[in-house]
């Protein structure tokens, strides 16, 4: 039995002393927000670290998603995945857009590119895919469909901080990519987020939109929102960024340990490592299939009884939530793979400071109730 409960994630915090000089600077210059010096430094530092050209910080990932849809003037219907955190689809409802759910590919848990075209109608103006668990979407195929039908592509990249695909940042695909820096994510600013843009003009429009639409002191260009990140959050991000490379190394080691220990457990499936990808090990989902003696919920409970708290990400599916379930595309016969994955998934604890002994203990408990 562990001495304390172990949760699916635990936020990383850098040494407190390193944060103090930043706070002292804020106290002396009295710049608390509105594109202050730490905000500007963090935008530059993230562009450098992530390998992107233009990035706008936000107060959180959800407001960033809502703003990204406005920045591209998306209208009508948007094709998206039901297998995500609820903020993905909610960002559409906040813009009066209609989500059209398309099923996922079990090999990545991302939108199945072969099923996208059938969901396109004259009302479709965009695709909002999610790089689920940091696994790259079928970016080339999605790009091809989008250019054939003249659709915008906004990636919900909340899980994809630092992921590289074919040697480049995954965030350079699509018209825009949206990041979350929430406490539970690989890189956090307590609360925070960002939009990655392809050019200066798009970044400028986004920067106006996140500041009520102000272009200058007297010019308001659009009904923008308040999506600004404060100086305290930006300063914290600058401190965090020094530790994120090491955090990724530690995460990958934990992922490797789980994969190895669970490799031959009958009825437990893992998502295979993705081709051409340097991942971020942001999550470690397992899928409890009918070949396993226990149901997913029974295994979840068994681990919980021993103090190990997994999370059923993503369950319930967005398409089965009350505000979506009446839509035609939300019907479970349209989304068989998503429904199956949601019923089988259990994300195991993974975070940089997780001791390897605990990973071993969790795997031992799973093996104990397996057929061997
Ligand atoms: C965390 C998350 C969001 C929302 O980000 P916040 O910063 O919490 O608002 C959106 N989409 C996905 C897939 C997420 O995991």
What CATH number is attached to the domain comprising 55? 3.40.640.10
Task: Tell whether ligand 1 has an atom less than 6 A from the beta carbon of residue 87.
Answer: yes
Task: Tell whether ligand 1 has an atom less than 6 A from the beta carbon of residue 158.
Answer: yes
pLDDT by residue (tens digit) across 94-129? 999 999 999 999 999 999 999 999 999 999 999 999
The per-residue pLDDT for 4 is 82
Q: Find, among 151, 134, 131, the residue nearest to 143 by Cα.
A: 151
Q: Do 237 and 305 lie in a common domain?
A: no
CA-closest residue to ligand 1 atom 2: 158
Q: Do 76 and 46 lie in a common domain?
A: yes
Residue 296: inside a domain, yes or no? yes
For the CA of 191, the nearest atom of ligand 1: 7
Cα(156) to ligand 1 centroid in Å equals 8
The total of other beta-carbon atoms located within 10 Å of residue 245's CB is: 10
- pLDDT over threshold 70, residue 372: no
Whole-number percent of the chain with pLDDT over 90? 98
End position of a domain, from candidates 176, 207, 241: 241
Residue 10: inside a domain, yes or no? no
End position of a domain, from candidates 241, 256, 282: 241
The per-residue pLDDT for 12 is 84
Q: Do 159 and 261 lie in a common domain?
A: no
- pLDDT over threshold 60, residue 1: no
Q: Find, among 145, 12, 8, the residue nearest to 79 by Cα.
A: 145
Q: Do 203 and 344 lie in a common domain?
A: no
Residue 3: inside a domain, yes or no? no
For the CA of 88, the nearest atom of ligand 1: 11
User: What CATH number corresponds to the domain at position 306?
Assistant: 3.90.1150.10
For the CA of 87, the nearest atom of ligand 1: 10
Q: Do 304 and 187 lie in a common domain?
A: no
Residue 223: inside a domain, yes or no? yes
Mutational test site, ligand 1, from 182, 183, 194, max ligand atoms within 8 Å of CB: 182
Q: Find, among 157, 151, 197, 203, the residue nearest to 178 by Cα.
A: 157
Answer whether 0.85 is exceeded by the pTM: yes
- pLDDT over threshold 70, residue 86: yes
CA-closest residue to ligand 1 atom 7: 61
Q: Do 196 and 280 lie in a common domain?
A: no
Q: Do 215 and 360 lie in a common domain?
A: no
For the CA of 192, the nearest atom of ligand 1: 7
Residue 8: inside a domain, yes or no? no
For the CA of 193, the nearest atom of ligand 1: 7
Q: Do 203 and 254 lie in a common domain?
A: no
Cα(294) to ligand 1 centroid in Å equals 31
Task: Tell whether ligand 1 has an atom less than 6 A from the beta carbon of residue 112.
Answer: no
Q: Do 211 and 161 lie in a common domain?
A: yes
Residue 4: inside a domain, yes or no? no
Q: Do 297 and 193 lie in a common domain?
A: no
Q: Do 233 and 251 lie in a common domain?
A: no
Residue 5: inside a domain, yes or no? no
pLDDT by residue (tens digit) across 221-239? 999 999 999 999 999 999 9
Tell me the residue range of the domain where 60 lies: 16-241
Strand pairing category for 168-169 and 219-220: unpaired
Task: Tell whether ligand 1 has an atom less than 6 A from the beta carbon of residue 130.
Answer: yes
Task: Tell whether ligand 1 has an atom less than 6 A from the beta carbon of residue 182.
Answer: yes
- pLDDT over threshold 90, residue 164: yes
Whole-number percent of the chain with pLDDT over 70? 99
End position of a domain, from candidates 189, 220, 241: 241
Q: Do 206 and 107 lie in a common domain?
A: yes
User: Residues 310-326: what's their mean pLDDT?
Assistant: 97
Domain count, the chain: 2
Strand pairing category for 77-80 and 124-128: parallel
Residue 1: inside a domain, yes or no? no
For the CA of 132, the nearest atom of ligand 1: 13
Cα(103) to ligand 1 centroid in Å equals 20
- pLDDT over threshold 90, residue 2: no
């Amino acid at each position: 039995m562990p001495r304390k409960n172990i949760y699916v994630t635990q936020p990383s915090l850098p040494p407190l002393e390193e944060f103090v000089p930043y706070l002292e600077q804020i106290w002396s210059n009295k710049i608390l927000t509105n594109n202050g010096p730490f905000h500007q430094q963090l935008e530059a530092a993230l562009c450098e670290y992530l390998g992107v050209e233009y990035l706008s910080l936000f107060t959180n990932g959800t407001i960033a998603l809502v703003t990204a849809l406005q920045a591209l003037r998306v209208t009508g219907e948007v094709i998206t995945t039901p297998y995500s955190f609820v903020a993905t689809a909610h960002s559409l409802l906040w813009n009066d857009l209609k989500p059209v759910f398309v099923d996922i590919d079990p090999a990545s848990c991302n939108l199945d590119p072969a099923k996208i075209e059938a969901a396109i109608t004259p009302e479709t103006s965009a695709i909002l895919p999610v790089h689920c668990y940091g696994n790259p979407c079928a970016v080339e195929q999605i790009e091809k469909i989008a250019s054939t039908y003249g659709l915008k592509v906004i990636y919900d990249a909340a899980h994809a901080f630092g992921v590289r695909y074919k040697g480049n940042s995954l965030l350079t695909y699509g018209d825009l990519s949206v990041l979350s820096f929430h406490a539970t994510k690989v890189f956090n600013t307590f609360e925070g987020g960002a939009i990655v843009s392809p050019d200066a003009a798009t970044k400028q429009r986004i920067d106006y939109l996140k500041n009520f639409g102000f272009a200058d002191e007297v010019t308001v260009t659009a009904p923008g929102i308040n999506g600004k990140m404060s100086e305290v959050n930006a300063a914290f991000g600058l401190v965090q960024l020094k530790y994120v490379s090491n955090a990724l190394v530690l995460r990958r080691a934990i992922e490797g340990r789980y994969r190895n220990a669970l490799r031959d457990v009958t009825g437990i499936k893992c998502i295979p490592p993705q081709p051409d990808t340097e991942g971020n090990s942001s999550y470690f989902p397992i899928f409890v299939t009918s070949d396993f003696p226990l149901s997913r919920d029974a295994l979840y409970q068994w681990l919980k009884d021993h103090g190990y708290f997994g999370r059923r990400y993503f369950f319930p599916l967005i398409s089965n939530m009350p505000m979506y379930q009446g839509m035609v595309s939300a019907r479970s016969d349209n989304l068989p793979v998503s429904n199956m994955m949601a019923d089988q998934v259990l994300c195991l604890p993974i975070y940089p400071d997780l001791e390897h002994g605990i990973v071993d203990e969790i795997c031992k408990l799973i093996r104990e109730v397996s057929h061997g």
